[in-house]
Structure 1
Amino acid sequence: MLMVNMHDAKSKLSSLVERLELGEESEVVIARNGTPVARLVPFTAPRRIGAARHLLAGLDIPATVEAFNAGDGAIAADFDASARQGLAP
């Protein structure tokens, strides 16, 4: 952990970020009058694969294209029924 004062952090921000990128530092603490006030850490991108899996877990979503398309007949029947009742889709 590297601690720098506010003035040094402002004037050397690029080099501080580079040290984080290269793994030379795990975090940089920025201090004002010797008191830590902020922390710079490397950014880690969130994992995209399965990011919404917990949101979709309770839903009955078809797992294959064939299973998804199997509902097309029911959907068409629903549209036909609403058209017969005079409802616009």
Structure 2
Amino acid sequence: MITVGTLEAKNRLSELLDRVEKGERVQITRHGKVVATLVGDEQAKQERASRAMEDIRAIREKIRADISKRGDPPITTDEILDWIREGRR
């Protein structure tokens, strides 16, 4: 990853975009503080998908813990499919 100031980023934008296309990250700073990070579109999509999957796993674990606390038996796939079918009627 490289870090450049805003003026340098403006002057070298084409070069920086070429580097981003090759998979590199570019941080842009203003007065020494990072204000933006350039990341390739595919990489950004993959990172969003990974975060979404992590969130889903965390929610699933919380639901499992809540069900376990109440002493309810685990929900089966067949039950979920039955609920979906009932909702379609």
| TM-score (normalised: structure 1) | 0.46
User: Which structure has the larger Rg over C-alpha atoms?
Assistant: 1
Q: Larger % of helix: which?
A: 2
